[in-house]
Amino acid sequence: MLVLQFANGGNLRDYLSNSFNDLKWEDKFRMAKEIAQALLYLHNKDIIHRDLHSKNILVHEGKMLLADFGLARYINDDPTISDNIIGGMPAYIEPQCFKNPSYIRNKKSDIYSFGVILWELSSGKQPFQSFTSIEAIAIHVFQGHREKPVDDTPIQYAELYMQCWDDNPEKRPEMKAVLDKLNQMISKPVNFNRSDTTIISMDSFDRAISTQNIKFIDYNQFKRNEYKIGSVHKYTWQRTELTTVVFKRFDIDPKLDENVIQEFVYELKSLQRLSFHQNINHFYGITKDADNGCYMTVQQFANGESLREYLKNNFENLNWDDKLLIAKDIAQGLVFLHHNNKIHKNLHSRNVLIHEGRAVLTDLDWKRPLVAETSVSDTQTDRQPAFTDPQFFRNYTYKWHREKPVEGTQSQYVKLYEQCWDDDPDKRPEMRIVLDKLNHLNQFYATSLSIKNENPLNRLLEEAIAEQHLNFHNYNEFSGFENIDSKDLGSAYKTAWRNRGIKVTLKCFKNNNGDLDKQIIQLKNLQKINFHPNIIEFYGVTKDPNGNYYMSLS
């Protein structure tokens, strides 16, 4: 057994939970300094802690003590030990560990963790405490997100922890420099007032908005509705035939220079340009709250609900034609974004809304350098790991499981979504190809739905088409029908196939009392035969407006 010092104050996380309201900034500075002194001592000995978080810092008689050196090692130790194993505290782990499974942690890794602890000292809360899983936190950190400064945090202190948790390890300060800055805060008055720089940034933002032609809408044009869904308040835009909208607030970071603000405004302009697509939630412009001066985006209100809620409430009433139309709507929105070199980056069923029976994409992950966008609705910011590319979790020892196909799902639909979620990104199809395949399936279901259950032969043909055992061609591709009176062919027509520039024969199927399954098997086998000069070529099947199927022959 190890014999260790007993700490009578518990760990730092519990201590902050119980005593935070009694702490002054002088206390927080002192606590930060004591932790920094311990880390500097380790780093001077070329020892890296590698597992620094608030549960590994103990409080004894008000003094901070580093503990739990289970992952600590000397810099010259075997670098392969443990670095591929990420523990259960991803909020304190630098993003390099999530980006590269072979990344070797170093002193700057401890600096990153210390930055998170500095934020925790300022807030009294554990980082990302609203998140429901460690996987979601890992994704959030990987994507560059950090906790936001707490109100009344000294500017110098916030700047220090932001430097410590910088995404680039080379930009993080050495531990000696961190301790020096903490000593300066203790010995000199700190600045809690941000008003001057905030005014400068607001002025810069106003100028950028006007030069980039972002639509600004007077706040007085909106009237708040009494009715709301959950915590989302609707507003009526009174000068546009009573359009219903919702607001999302964003805060301006006073430390940003004018170039960064211009970049942000350019993103708003891009969003304004891209949003007017039938499958993307509309961004109308920005407004400014007359009471508190906060800027807010003005966005379309979806009169349905999220796709997740829509499926929960309506799934039993949806047929495959409905489901394919929803999938097609989403795909069309993504194709449009990708065509304009835009990536959504946060696509899941809560970010797809149903508006007037149409699926629309929302919450595009446009760059937000002005701190965080916050919703008037207090919506969850947690990413959805079930919808996230497994490459984000490469360095975890997870098995790459997927959901199993639901009974009754057409095999071609299953094949499509399995291609989309392939573990290898290079094997996933382009969005345009996905949309083409959905169009093919949708076209088939749309033309067959009305008589699907009326004709056994039609039903078998439709199943074979959906599974792509038989090629299906649109009836409108054929013209100039000439009846062929032939005992061998039965009811048949000679016609021009415009897309191919050739003459073909369309032979009508007969729904006789023979073995229908055998007929379908024969057609499937015929479809597999490659062209041969001595065999009549079978191109596939088509269907006329009356629901009659024909085989297409040379």
Which CATH number fits the domain that encloses residue 544?
3.30.200.20
| Co-location of 288 and 213 in the same domain | yes
- Indicate the burial class of 112 (C-beta count within 10 angstroms; 0-12, 13-18, 19 or more): buried
| Co-location of 177 and 201 in the same domain | no
- For residues 74 and 94, the answer to whether their CB atoms sit within 8 Å is no
- For residues 229 and 174, the answer to whether their CB atoms sit within 8 Å is no
Please state the separation of Cα 360 from the chain's center in Å: 14
| Domain-located, residue 343 | yes
- Indicate the burial class of 301 (C-beta count within 10 angstroms; 0-12, 13-18, 19 or more): buried
| Co-location of 35 and 169 in the same domain | yes
Please name the helix (run of DSSP H) or strand (run of DSSP E) that holds residue 76, with its range, or none.
none
| Domain-located, residue 309 | no
Dist. CA 373–CA 370, nearest whole Å: 8
Residue of 115 and 548 predicted with greater confidence: 115
| Co-location of 143 and 22 in the same domain | yes
**In the predicted model, is pLDDT for residue 403 greater than 70?**
yes
| Co-location of 472 and 436 in the same domain | no
| Co-location of 475 and 440 in the same domain | no
| Domain-located, residue 341 | yes
| Co-location of 96 and 145 in the same domain | yes
CA distances from 386 to 139, 158, 254, 313, 464 (A): 11, 33, 36, 21, 32
| Co-location of 62 and 199 in the same domain | no
pLDDT digits (tens, 9 = 90+) for 254-304: 566 666 777 777 777 777 777 767 788 888 888 887 776 778 888 888 777
**Paired tokens of 288:** 């400014």
Find the CATH number of the domain harbouring 125: 1.10.510.10
| Domain-located, residue 151 | yes
CA distances from 86 to 80, 90, 386, 400, 440 (A): 13, 8, 19, 17, 44
Dist. CA 238–CA 439, nearest whole Å: 39
| Co-location of 256 and 129 in the same domain | no
Give the least confident one: 69-83, 149-163, 427-441: 69-83
| Domain-located, residue 384 | no
| Domain-located, residue 442 | yes
pLDDT digits (tens, 9 = 90+) for 420-469: 988 888 999 999 999 999 988 877 665 555 444 456 777 777 777 776 67
Cβ-Cβ contacts under 8 Å for 60 (sequence gap 6 or more): 5, 6, 7, 8, 9
Share the mean pLDDT of the chain. 76
**In the predicted model, is pLDDT for residue 101 greater than 80?**
no
Domain count, the chain: 4
> What per-residue confidence (pLDDT) applies to 490?
56
| Co-location of 147 and 29 in the same domain | yes
| Domain-located, residue 109 | yes
| Domain-located, residue 35 | yes
Dist. CA 225–CA 544, nearest whole Å: 51
> What per-residue confidence (pLDDT) applies to 539?
75
Share above pLDDT 90 across residues of the chain, in percent, rounded to a whole number: 19
Rounded mean pLDDT, 516-537: 66
Q: What is the domain extent for residue 19?
A: 12-187
> What per-residue confidence (pLDDT) applies to 198?
41
| Co-location of 178 and 207 in the same domain | no
Residue in 60, 164, 171 with CA at minimum distance from that of residue 120: 164
Q: Which of 427, 448, 469 is a domain's end point?
A: 448
**In the predicted model, is pLDDT for residue 202 greater than 70?**
no
| Co-location of 280 and 326 in the same domain | no
pLDDT digits (tens, 9 = 90+) for 293-332: 778 888 888 777 889 999 999 888 888 888 988 999 999 8
Rounded mean pLDDT, 236-261: 71
pTM: 0.46
Q: Which of 300, 331, 346 is a domain's end point?
A: 300
Residue in 260, 206, 219 with CA at minimum distance from that of residue 371: 260
Q: Which of 448, 472, 488 is a domain's end point?
A: 448
